[in-house]
Structure 1
Amino acid sequence: MGEDNMAKAFRIAFVTIGQTPRIDIVPEMMTDITAGLTDTEVTCQEFGVLDGLSDTELTALHAQDGEHSFATRLKSGDEIVTSKKLTEERLNLILQTIDNQGFNLIVLLCTGTHITPLKNTLVIEAQRIVDATVNALTDDGTLGVILPLERQINDFHERHVFKGKTQLVAASPYAGGDIEKKAAELSDCSFVIMHCMGYSGEMLERARTTCKAPVLLSRRIVSGVIRQMI
């Protein structure tokens, strides 16, 4: 096969604040990202902030009362609620290592992290992509936001700056949250964002069965941006 006919290679590093493999996120995103692509071979590798940790080490990362937190997924499928500060410290160390491995893109699978800029690799920060999209769509009405944890409602406005009014509800994508019931509470909003990369396409459809307002899915917004970079 001639060089002109060979598919281009594009490597993505998916980084989760939980454990890999993220079978609940990465396959669905890769389907969205690669649909219809014929001239590029897209491959991915996953990295997890909590990979390889013992039960004792995982316990040490648990969020304490009143502390900013993340909800994420262990390899077993169980939910874990971790300290935002300690998680981000480990995340930034991992990113520095990945930066030297020749990836075309690094994608953060979390809408809420703060990272140190890298020298060699472009980073897709899910929070910045999602929040910018939401702000571009915001009108004079109320924005509905679905979050994983009740405790995240209290500090949401410290971590995300949205124009206008917001109405916040919590339904975990990992611990059987009642998405239909919570989404219904946001029916009077202008539109709704499912503000966690853990929410899936199937969960989006469940939310849309009870919510009269348009509902957006964070991972699809991010996948669309990644697709434009290939």
Structure 2
Amino acid sequence: MPSTSKIAFVTIGQTPRIDVVPEMMTEICIGLPEGRVEFREFGVLDGLNLAELDAMRAVDGEHSFATRLKSGQEIVTSKARTEEKLNVLLGQIDKQGFDLVVLLCTGTAIDPLENTLVVEAQRIVDSTVEALAASSRKLGVILPLERQVKDFADRHVFSGEPKFVAASPYAGDDMGERAKTLEGCDLIVMHCMGYSAGMLDEVRRAVDAPVLLSRRVVAGVVRQMI
């Protein structure tokens, strides 16, 4: 890597992701000299008007994502339409000379890029979960939306039956209260990049088990790559 690493953070929502990127950059840059890492943010929903945003919303029965608008409001988007726009955006970013693209979503399918290495949050988090779950007696998973539970179960096969709970990081859900339903699990995964360190603390106070925070897992990988 060069003396200055250039990172593109890509969200399926709108930028700036003040709820995610500053916290991740703090962890990535611990002990590094000032200016060692530069970054820019890109959002799939950036620049869309109200009608265009409405066209991105998921309909009943459709695979979906929960993400954040610039205003801080939650929006639930169509997985298919989001991924279509995401791949176009990534193709544009690939030509801009970044060292890494960090994808801030744990559920997307993307096309390979020609010039830039992608840190794909979903693959990193899912692989870590599967590795740790191999020795877990009871896995607990926190997801943003109830409708995402089936999607998660379809992607993973575990020896036991995981327990799931839906709690949105964007809609003001009480993380601690929701997490109490996971009592008895010996490993809990907060499976969304929108979950913060503060939300992690709420879950840890509610349940006596190790808790894996997606953004910290991804930040740790990025740190090793720069």
TM-score over 0.5 (shorter chain): yes
RMSD (Å) for aligned C-alpha atoms: 1.3
Say if 1:48 and 1:163 are closer, same or farther in 2 by CA, change over 3 A: same
Partner of 1:127: 122
Partner of 2:17: 22
Give structure 2 stretches of 5+ with no counterpart: none
Inter-partner Cα distance in structure 1 for 2:153 and 2:84: 22
Q: How far is the alpha carbon of 1:38 from its aligned partner?
A: 2.9
Q: How does 1:23-62 map to 2 (within 5 A)?
A: 23-38=18-33, 41-62=36-57
Match of 1:184 among 180, 185, 204: 180
Partner of 1:107: 102
Query: In the TM superposition, what whole-angstrom CA distance separates every residue of 1:96-131 from its partner, at most 9, and x where no partner exists?
Result: 000011100000000000000011000011010001
Partner of 1:163: 158
Inter-partner Cα distance in structure 2 for 1:140 and 1:106: 32
Secondary structure in structure 2 of the residue aligned to 1:97: helix
Secondary structure in structure 1 of the residue aligned to 2:165: strand
Q: Does 1:89 align with 2:84?
A: yes
CA contact (8 A) 1:88 1:115 kept: yes
- Between the aligned residues of both structures, percent identity stands at 63
2:61 maps to amino acid? G
Q: How many residues align?
A: 223
Query: In the TM superposition, what whole-angstrom CA distance separates every residue of 1:175-219 from its partner, at most 9, and x where no partner exists?
Result: 011211111111211200000000000000011111111111000
Give structure 1 stretches of 5+ with no counterpart: 1-6
Q: How far is the alpha carbon of 1:140 from its aligned partner?
A: 4.7
CA contact (8 A) 2:136 2:187 kept: no
2:104 maps to amino acid? L
Inter-partner Cα distance in structure 2 for 1:62 and 1:117: 26
Which segments of structure 1 move beyond 4 Å, counting only runs of 4 or more? none
Structure 2-normalised TM-score?
Answer: 0.96
